[in-house]
A and B are shown apart, each in its own frame.
Chain A
Amino acid sequence: DAGITQSPRHKVTETGTPVTLRCHQTENHRYMYWYRQDPGHGLRLIHYSYGVKDTDKGEVSDGYSVSRSKTEDFLLTLESATSSQTSVYFCAISEHRLRSAHFGGYTFGSGTRLTVV
């Protein structure tokens, strides 16, 4: 599905360097999310956005920041990467519930595998 794309797909970076991951959508969905996936933890929410310039923290937001200057783009930045941030990062989008009778769930990107060495 081309509705949501993540870049890069793979990245290796050194401890202490800044890293930015990009999520781009063509669905004009209001909500965008960043999750990380780690063995034994499932998916954990890092940050989410409910509109342009409107963002909020998730359960594991320490060490991460986000920005959303356009509806279609949601950026995740690791200000100073650490080895504990080695993970697979997923972006997701969703429609606003008022646009449909029930919440339909998320559409996920293919993920970014980040390794911090």
Chain B
Amino acid sequence: GDSVTQMEGPVTLSEEAFLTINCTYTATGYPSLFWYVQYPGEGLQLLLKATKADDKGSNKGFEATYRKETTSFHLEKGSVQVSDSAVYFCALSPPFTNFGNEKLTFGTGTRLTIIP
């Protein structure tokens, strides 16, 4: 079945450092790929997405590129801030082949802490 493997955490960085959180997936065909962010005490929020190979999703300074050849969707940010401290989840949705086949498969999450 489909699966998502995320970089183990926790990750601690200094403010303005470069961030990479690795995500690889196993799925048939061309799934859609997502990054969600969860701030303390809140639900998950969609951060960015990509729906086909070589697409780049971006939002709030974060970027991720859909790499079919390496089955990866790594999250990057050039200069992190204290406010980026959160848990980040990588997820995939299967290709649209069936009516109602909309379920997301999530990775286990990576906790990021940014220190001033």
Contact = CB atoms under 8 A, between A and B. Distances in A.
B2 to A, nearest CB: 11
Contacts of A109: 43
Interface of A: 31, 33, 40-43, 45, 48, 50, 58, 90, 92, 94, 96-97, 102-111
B115 interface: no
A42 B43 contact: no
B73 to A, nearest CB: 13
Nearest to A44: B106
A42 B108 CA distance: 4
A108 B108 contact: no
Contacts, number: 55
Interface of B: 32, 34, 36, 41-46, 49, 51, 89, 91, 93, 96, 100, 102-104, 106-109
Nearest to A95: B102
Contact of B32 (A31, A45, A103): A103
B51 to A, nearest CB: 4
Contacts of A41: 108
A42 B106 contact: yes
Given A104-B49, A105-B49, A106-B46, A43 B96 contact: no
Contacts of B107: 42
Given A40-B108, A42-B89, A90-B44, A102 B102 contact: no
